Structure 1
Amino acid sequence: MLGARGGWQALRGCASLPRAQPAVRLRVREALGAREPAGEVKVQGWVRSVRSQKEVLFLHINDGSSLENLQVVADPSLENRDLTFGSAVEVQGKLVKSPHKMQNMELKAETIRVVGPCDTWSFPLKMKERHPLEYVRQFPHLRCRNNMLGSLLRIRSEATAAIHSFFQDNGYVHIHTPIITSNDCEGAGELFQIEVSWVEKLPETHFFNVPAFLTVSGQLHLEVMAGAFTHVFTFGPTFRAENSQSRRHLAEFYMVEAELSFTESLQDVMQVMEDLFKTATNTVLSKCPRDVELFHKYIAPAQKDRLEQVLKNKFVTISYNEAVEILKQASQTFTFKPEWGCDLQTEHEKYLVKHCGEVPVFVINYPYDLKPFYMRDNEDGPQHTVAAVDLLVPGIGELCGGSLREERLPFLKSRLQRLGLADAYEWYLDLRKFGSVPHGGFGMGFERYLQYILGVDNIKDVIPFPRFPHSCIL
C-alpha cells in the first residue's frame, strides 16, 4: 500500500485519470454578455423571480452587476421551499444560447443551492412591483435590492470613476483633504462640532486642544496644496448642519473640488467646470445606457432630450448685475424680492435658467459683502464685486460655486482684520507670504449633479444612506 505522499504523487502522474474542471465563476453581466456557450459555470446572486411549470423551472437572478437579470432554466425537481423571491442562491450549470430574442444567453442549471432564504411575507419589496422612490426610502438597509436604486448605485460608481479620470487625464493631483478640521471655510457657521464620548470628560478641554468640526469644504486645504502643485482636486464627504428638509439639501453629501494655480481668469475656472460636467456626463451615458434609460423613462421622461441639448451647446454666462435686472423685469412674483446686494434664492436661480433657455448658466461677479473672505476683490468702484461664479442648472439651481482667490496679502489681511479672523487664519496669510500665485477653484455637489442628469426630484434618492435633520438611520 502506498503511503499518503507516494499515493498522491502516483495519482498526479497517472495520465489515465481525468481531472475534474472547476466551474468558472461568472458575474451576471459577464454571463449576459457572453457570445458563445460555456462549460461548467457558477453564478451567485439573488432571485428576482420564480416561475415553475410542469416541465421546467424558470429563475431570474441578479448580482448587482447589471440591470438585466440572468434567466436560469432548470428541472422542476431542483425547486425547494426556500427557493423564493429575494433568496440568495448559487447556481451551477452550463451557459447556453437562449431561444428567446430578448436575451442572448441563459444558464441551464445542474445544481441550485439556496445560500440564504428570504421571508417573502415580511420582505417589503414585492416581486414585479415598481415601488416609488419615496417608499423604498423607508428601508435604507434593503433599498439597494430595488431596480431603481441598483441602477443609481452603478451610475454613482461610474460617475465617480469618470470624475477621477477627468482630473487625472488633465494633470491634477488627487489630495485626501481631512474630514476633521478646525476651520469653517464657508464662514456660515453651519458646522457639526466633534465631541468625545467619554463618560468622564472635562467640559473646558478639547480632544485636539482646539474646537474641531466636520468639514464643510476641502477648499482651504487644497489651497495649501496649490502652493506646491499647479493643479489639485479632492472628492469626498462634506457636512452642513443646515436645518433644511428641502429636496436639494443633505447634512452629509459628496463634493468634487479643484484648485488651479497660475490663473488670473475666472473664465479658466468656468471652462474646467463645463468640461468636467460634459466629460463625466458623456462617460456615464456611454457606460450606463440601460441604467440611465430607466430613470429617463420612468422618473423624468423629457430629461434625455434636454440633456443631449445641454451637452451640445455652450453654457451661458451673465453677470450678477444682469441677473438682478432680469429678475426685476420678470412677470413672475417671487417670494423673495430681487434686489441688488441680496443673495439669489433658489426660485431666482431656477427662473434665470428658464429665462436663458433651460441651459446651464454661469452667474459671475457677485457683491463683495455676499461672499466669503477668500474671494478676489474686483476693485470695480461703488458696486464693489468679487470674482465669484455660480453654475446654475435647470430644475436644481446652484450646482457649482467657485472664484478666483485673493492672493494679494494686503487685501486679504485687511479683510480678515475687519472680520476679526486674522489670528485664526494666520496660516492662510502665510500662504500669501511664501511664493503665492494667482489661483482659483470651485466645488461641485455630486448628489446635485446626479439629480440633474437623471431628473430625480429629491436629493435623498441619489445617495445610498441620506442624512438630513431628524434622520440618521443606520
Structure 2
Amino acid sequence: MLEVRCLLRSVRFCSSAPFPRHKPSAKLSVRDALGAQNTSGERIKVQGWIRSVRSQKEVLFLHVNDGSSLESLQIVADSSLDSRELTFGSSVEIQGQLVKSPSKRQNVELKAEKIKIIGNCDAKAFPIKYKERHPLEYLRQYPHFRCRTNVLGSILRIRSEATAAIHSFFKDSGFVHIHTPIITSNDSEGAGELFQLEPSGKLKVPEENFFNVPAFLTVSGQLHLEVMSGAFTQVFTFGPTFRAENSQSRRHLAEFYMVEAEISFVNSLQDLMQVIEELFKATAMMVLSNCPEDVELCHKFIAPGQKVISFVDKAQYICCLIISYTEAVEILKQASQNFTFTPEWGVNLQTEHEKYLVKHCGNIPVFIINYPLAIKPFYMRDNEDGPQHTVAAVDLLVPGVGELFGGGLREERYHFLEERLARSGLTEVYQWYLDLRRFGSVPHGGFGMGFERYLQCILGVDNIKDVIPFPRFPHSCLL
C-alpha cells in the first residue's frame, strides 16, 4: 500500500502542471504510417533517410524510408523551407500531420510541420545514386551502403521474414532450439575444408593448442545435434557455418547460414523427407504471404522472365518426386546434353547434373535417395543392399539452385559404426560418438538446408553473394 500511495501523490503533483497545447507526436515506422487507418490529421513523427527530393514552386516533396517497408512515405512541406541540405541519403526526423493523399500513388502523406536533419549526405560523392538501378555486381563493392537500395532492402526483409518463418515452423512442430558451438574440434563432413583457429598476439604459443586440441570453425552443427537427440526427440539449430573452400562459384560462400535438424525414433527416409518438404513449403508460403511487394520486386528486377515466383506460389500443391541415385545416374547417361563432368555411378553429382535432373523431372523439387556408401560421410546408415552398397542418404534438388537440402538416417548400430570408423582411422577421434551408441541409442536421422541457397531458390537470385548482408568468399572479407 505504501508504494501505491506514493505513486498517487506523484500523480496529483504532476496533474497541477499545465497541459501541453498539442498532443505529443506518436513515433511511427514508415510501414505503420502507410498502413494507418486514422488519417484525420493525427500528429506523428517519423525518422529515416531521404530517398528523393522534388521541389516545386509552392510545395516541396520528399520521400522518406526507414527500412520497414519497400514503399516510402511522401512528405509534403512548404517550398519556403531551405532544402539545400535535404539531399538524397540524408537522415531526417519529421513531425507533422498524417493526412489522406490526393494522389493515387499513395494512400497517405505527411504534412510536415518540423523537419530536422540528423545527418547530412554528400549526394554527389555518395556511390549509390538516386534513380539509378545499380547492378548487383556493382553494389557488392559497397557492403556498407548496399542495404540502402530498394533491391537489397527487399532481400534483407525477406531474409528476416524467412528466418522467423523457419523458427515458427520448428516451434509449432515441437522442436527444441539448440545453440550449437561455432568453435569445434571435429569435422562432421570429413572434407577437410576447415578454418583452423589460433590465438593472436601475446597469447600465441606455437608449441601448444589453446584448447589442448586443434580447434576449427564449424562446418556443421549436426554432430552436436546428435548429442542432443539422446535427450530430446526433435532438435534444430540455425546459425553460421564455415568452409575453407577455394571456390568463386555463384553458390558457395566461406561463411553461410545452415538450418539443421535431428529427429529421434525415425526409421525411414520417407519420414525425414516429409519434414523437409513441410519445412520448405511452410516457409515459402509465409514469406510470400508477409512480403508480397518485396518478393515481386525481386521477381521483376532480379529474375525477369523466370518462373521462380509461380513455382514457389504453387509449392503447397507440388508433390516432390523421389528417385534413387542409381536412377539419376541412368537419366544423366541417357541425356542428349554434354556434361563437363561425365556422370558415373559411384561419383558425386555435380551442379550441372543436379540442374539437369530438376529440369528433366518438370522443374519441380526432386529427392535423390540411396547414395553409394563410398561418397558419403561415416555416419550415414548402411542399407546392406549387396554389391551396390548404398546408404540411406537423401538430397533435395530444387529449380535454379540444385542441391538445397542434404541429410539421411544415421548409423545407430554400434558395430557397423565401429567398423566404419576403424577403416577410416577415426576411432580415437570419435570415441565419444561411439559412446552415444552404447548408451541409449535410437534410430534417428536429420538434415541440413543452406539458408542462402533457399533464398536464391525462392527469389531467383543468381549469385549467393547477393542474399547475405556481408558475403565472405576467397580474397574478399570486406568490413
TM-score by length of 2: 0.95
| In structure 2, C-alpha distance between the alignment counterparts of 1:200 and 1:161, rounded to whole Å | 39
Please say if 1:21 is aligned against 2:26: no
> Structure 2: 5+ residue runs without aligned partners?
1-9
Question: Post-superposition shift, 1:300?
Answer: 1.5
Please say if 1:136 is aligned against 2:148: no
Question: Post-superposition shift, 1:77?
Answer: 2.2
| Aligned counterpart for 1:187 among listed residues 190, 205, 210 | 190
Alignment of 1:218-297 (within 5 A): 218-297=221-300
Question: Post-superposition shift, 1:15?
Answer: 7.9
CA contact (8 A) 1:36 1:97 kept: no
The residue that corresponds to 1:404 in the other structure is 409
The residue that corresponds to 1:4 in the other structure is none
- Please state whether the residue corresponding to 2:478 is helix, strand or coil: coil
CA contact (8 A) 2:329 2:343 kept: yes
Percent identity reads: 73
The residue that corresponds to 1:315 in the other structure is 320
| In structure 2, C-alpha distance between the alignment counterparts of 1:318 and 1:10, rounded to whole Å | 76
| Aligned counterpart for 1:205 among listed residues 203, 208, 217 | 208
CA contact (8 A) 1:151 1:292 kept: yes
| Aligned counterpart for 1:331 among listed residues 327, 336, 343 | 336
Please say if 1:31 is aligned against 2:10: no
Question: Post-superposition shift, 1:20?
Answer: 4.6
| In structure 2, C-alpha distance between the alignment counterparts of 1:218 and 1:294, rounded to whole Å | 34
Could you list the per-position Cα deviations for residues 43-95 of structure 1 after superposition, in whole angstroms to 9, with x for gaps in the alignment? 00000000111100000000000000000001012233211000000000010
CA contact (8 A) 1:237 1:254 kept: yes
Distance 1:20 1:405, change over 3 A: same
Could you list the per-position Cα deviations for residues 334-370 of structure 1 after superposition, in whole angstroms to 9, with x for gaps in the alignment? 1111111111111111111111001111000000101
CA contact (8 A) 1:376 1:404 kept: yes
Please say if 1:464 is aligned against 2:466: no
CA contact (8 A) 1:87 1:117 kept: yes
Please say if 1:430 is aligned against 2:435: yes
The residue that corresponds to 1:116 in the other structure is 119
297-306 vs 111-120, greater mean Cα deviation: 297-306
Could you list the per-position Cα deviations for residues 292-330 of structure 1 after superposition, in whole angstroms to 9, with x for gaps in the alignment? 000111111332223234432100100001001001111
CA contact (8 A) 2:47 2:92 kept: yes
| In structure 2, C-alpha distance between the alignment counterparts of 1:217 and 1:29, rounded to whole Å | 37
CA contact (8 A) 2:198 2:204 kept: no
CA contact (8 A) 1:148 1:294 kept: yes
Could you list the per-position Cα deviations for residues 208-264 of structure 1 after superposition, in whole angstroms to 9, with x for gaps in the alignment? 010000000000000000000000000000000000000000000000000000011
Question: Post-superposition shift, 1:148?
Answer: 0.3
Structure 1 counterpart of 2:254, one-letter code: A
Please say if 1:299 is aligned against 2:302: yes
| In structure 2, C-alpha distance between the alignment counterparts of 1:256 and 1:332, rounded to whole Å | 34
- Please state whether the residue corresponding to 1:155 is helix, strand or coil: helix
CA contact (8 A) 1:35 1:104 kept: no
Distance 1:9 1:135, change over 3 A: closer
Count of aligned positions = 467
CA contact (8 A) 1:44 1:91 kept: yes
| In structure 1, C-alpha distance between the alignment counterparts of 2:141 and 2:19, rounded to whole Å | 57
Could you list the per-position Cα deviations for residues 171-226 of structure 1 after superposition, in whole angstroms to 9, with x for gaps in the alignment? 00000000000000000000000011024632120110100000000000000000
Distance 1:18 1:290, change over 3 A: closer
> Structure 1: 5+ residue runs without aligned partners?
1-7
CA contact (8 A) 2:225 2:261 kept: yes
| In structure 1, C-alpha distance between the alignment counterparts of 2:357 and 2:75, rounded to whole Å | 52
Structure 2 counterpart of 1:36, one-letter code: N
CA contact (8 A) 1:78 1:112 kept: no
| In structure 1, C-alpha distance between the alignment counterparts of 2:441 and 2:177, rounded to whole Å | 21
The residue that corresponds to 1:5 in the other structure is none
Moved over 6 A (4+): 8-11
| Aligned counterpart for 2:52 among listed residues 49, 53, 65 | 49
Distance 1:309 1:19, change over 3 A: closer
| Aligned counterpart for 2:152 among listed residues 146, 149, 152 | 149
| In structure 2, C-alpha distance between the alignment counterparts of 1:421 and 1:121, rounded to whole Å | 60
373-382 vs 309-318, greater mean Cα deviation: 309-318
Please say if 1:447 is aligned against 2:449: no
- Please state whether the residue corresponding to 2:111 is helix, strand or coil: strand
| In structure 1, C-alpha distance between the alignment counterparts of 2:291 and 2:150, rounded to whole Å | 14
| Aligned counterpart for 2:398 among listed residues 379, 393, 397 | 393
The residue that corresponds to 1:81 in the other structure is 84
Please say if 1:351 is aligned against 2:356: yes
CA contact (8 A) 1:362 1:389 kept: yes
| In structure 2, C-alpha distance between the alignment counterparts of 1:157 and 1:65, rounded to whole Å | 11
Query: CA RMSD of the aligned region, Å?
Result: 1.5
| In structure 2, C-alpha distance between the alignment counterparts of 1:316 and 1:349, rounded to whole Å | 14
| In structure 2, C-alpha distance between the alignment counterparts of 1:331 and 1:200, rounded to whole Å | 59
Distance 1:11 1:267, change over 3 A: closer
333-342 vs 168-177, greater mean Cα deviation: 333-342
Question: Post-superposition shift, 1:146?
Answer: 0.6
Please say if 1:371 is aligned against 2:376: yes
Distance 1:337 1:39, change over 3 A: same
The residue that corresponds to 2:171 in the other structure is 168
